[in-house]
Structure 1
C-alpha cells in the first residue's frame, strides 16, 4: 500500500487577496542550509506564486527539517555516503522528535543502497516509534534484480532420432534438472521421425513445466529438414508439424511460423500454437532470493525509471507530450532511483504549467529520498506525491 509522504492540511477558507506584489498566504520561511542553493533558473518563485491558492499543500507531520532537506539534495547529487551519514546521525535510535518522513528517508536510503543489515537494525525502532507496520525489505540498489547467470551444460544431438531415442532424451532431462537448464545443439541431427518428434516435444513440455531453461542451438538446418516432410492439406505427422513450429520459435522466424500456423490450422482443423519467442533468456538464469519484483505497471501510466538528470531530460520532454491530451496524469515512479536537483526544477516548471491548465497530477510509488527532494523543490505543491510501499 502506498503511503502519503505529506499529510493533509485541514481545509480552510480561501484567504483574502494579498497586497500587490505579495503572494496570498505566502510567508518567508526561516533560512536553512539550502537557502543559498542555485535552482538553475527554474523560476521557482514565480511558479509557486501562480500555484498559490489553487492547490492543497501537503506536509509531513512535523516536517522533515533542514537537515533532511540537505540529505535529500546530497542524494540527488549522487553523494549517497554523505547523505547516509547525515541521516544516521540525525535520526535517533530511540525517542526524539524526528518526524516519520525522516525515518522513511533513512529506511529507503538503506534499501536504495542494499544495506540489509542496517535496515534490519533500525526497522523495529521505526515500528515502535510510530506504532505501525514498517516498510518491508526490498533491495533497490542498482545491482538488485540483475540475474545471476551461469552457463548451462551443452548437449549435442546427432544422427536420426526416433522413438528409440527416448532414453537419450531422458538423460538430457536429468542433466537439465541437475543444472537448472540445458543447451541442446541440433546442428548434426539429420532427421527426426514423427514418433521421435513426439518424444522430443514431451521432453520440452516437461522441462518448461518445471521452469527449467532450455535453449536449442543451430535449429535452422533441422527446421529445413522437417519442412520438407509436412504437406499442407495432408493431416499426417502431426507431431512433426508441431515440432517444426517449435523450432521456428527457437529460430526467431516469426513470418515463417505464422505461415505454417495457418497451414496447420487448415490441415488439422484445430487452433495452432501461438507465437512465443523461445530461448530469449539464457538457461540457468536465477533471480536473487531477496529480489522484490516491481508491481505490474498500468499501461495508462507515464513511467519514471532509473536516474533522471539535467534540465533537458528526454523523459520530461516525453511527459509533456504524454500529458497534452490528458486531464489526469499518473506518473509511476516505482523504478525511479534518483532525480537530480536541476531535473527536479525542470519537472516543477512542467507540472506548474499542467496544473495551471487544470490537470490533476499524481506521482506514485516514489522512494522517500526522491520525495524529500520533491518537497525541497515544492513539487508536492503542484502534484500529489505518495511513497512506494
Structure 2
C-alpha cells in the first residue's frame, strides 16, 4: 500500500478490532492473504456477475482489515514513547476515525495531497464534472448521478473529483447504501481506504420549508497544545447566546489532562444547553487523544478518557462510544457510562487547509451559509455584505451548504466580486503569505462539498475567492 496508505487510517476498523493480536504477535506483510486480484485494474464491465462483484468487495474488505492490524502495530511502534508491557493495549480505534501520525502540518500536507487535496479550485479534465454540477444545482439529482456514473465507468474513472462529487450527492440525499457501494469500488481502484458515510445535515428533501439558520457563528480555534489556557479561547463561544457555535480542533498537536478537562467541561455545558455545534477536525483530535490512553494505565487520569467519550457521543458514534466506554470501565474499575443520543449531533468536518501552507482555517467568527439556497437570495447576500462590513477578510462557512441552485450561485459569485473589489478600510488589503491580490479583500469559502465547489468554480467565483472543499 505504500507511504500514503500508512498516513491515512482505514475507516472500516471493526474487522481489525475483532481479529487484533497481542503486540508480541504482530502481523507482518508476508502474512497478508493473496489479495492481488483486489487491486488488479478492473472495470464494472469486466465483472460478469453480481456475485463476482461482491467477491471483489469482500476481498477489498478483508485486505483493508488485515492492513489495519499491521498499521495499528506500526503506528504504536513509532509514536508510543514507552514500551508496552503485559496486556497493556491502546483503546479500540473508532470506525471512521483517523489515526494518522501527528506530522508537522506542512509535511503532512505535502504527503497527503496526492490522496485528498483540500482545495476545490483544481480543474478536472472531465466535462462530466461541470455537467453534473449544473444538473445538481438545478435539482436534477438523478440526472447528475447518471452523468457521474457513466463517466466513472469510462473516461474519468481515474480522476478522484467525480468520485467525490458522487459521494457528496449520496450524502446530501441520504442514500447510505449507494454511498457504501461505490466506496468499496473507490477503495479498490485507488488502493486506499474507503471514505465513511457521515451526512452533515438532513437530506435535501427535509430542508425545504424549514427556517434554516444563517449568519455569524461564534468560533473558537484551538491550536498547538491543548492545556488549561484553552479556557480563555472557549469563553467566547460559551458567552454567546446564538444557537450555533463552531469549534476547530484541526491544528491541536498535543493535549494535557488539564486541557482535556477544560474542553470536556465546555462541551458538556454546550450540549446541556441544547446548543448546536459545528466541529472541524474532530477526528484529528481523536487521533491526538488515543495515543495518550491505554487500557489499565491510569496515569493520564480520567479527563482524556471522558473527553474522548464526549466527542464520540456528540458525533453520534454509538458503537465506538460503547467500545471505548468498556475500555474506560476496565481501566478505572467503574461502571461504563451509557450512550445517550444527543439532541443535536455535532456536524463533524475534516480540516480544509490552504494551498501549500497546511494552515488552519481562518481564525475568528465565520458567516454560516444555510443548507439549501434556492431562488431569490437577496436577503442572504445583503446579510453577507453587512457581515463583511469593514473586514479585510471574509470567511464563509459552507459546512452545511448541501446545494445552491444555479441562479443563486451566480448571484453569490457576482456579490463576491463586488466585495473583493471593495476591501475594508482598516489599512489592510487582504494580501498575505498564502497569496492574495493587492487592493482586494481576501475571501474564503470553507468546507464546500465538491458539487457546489465545481459549480462556483465554473461561475468564476474561484477568481476572487479561495474555494476549499472538505476532504475524503
Q: Same fold (TM over 0.5)?
A: no
Under a length normalisation based on structure 1, what TM-score does the superposition of the two structures give?
Answer: 0.45
Give the number of the structure with larger relative contact order, counting CA–CA contacts within 8 Å between residues 6 or more apart.
1
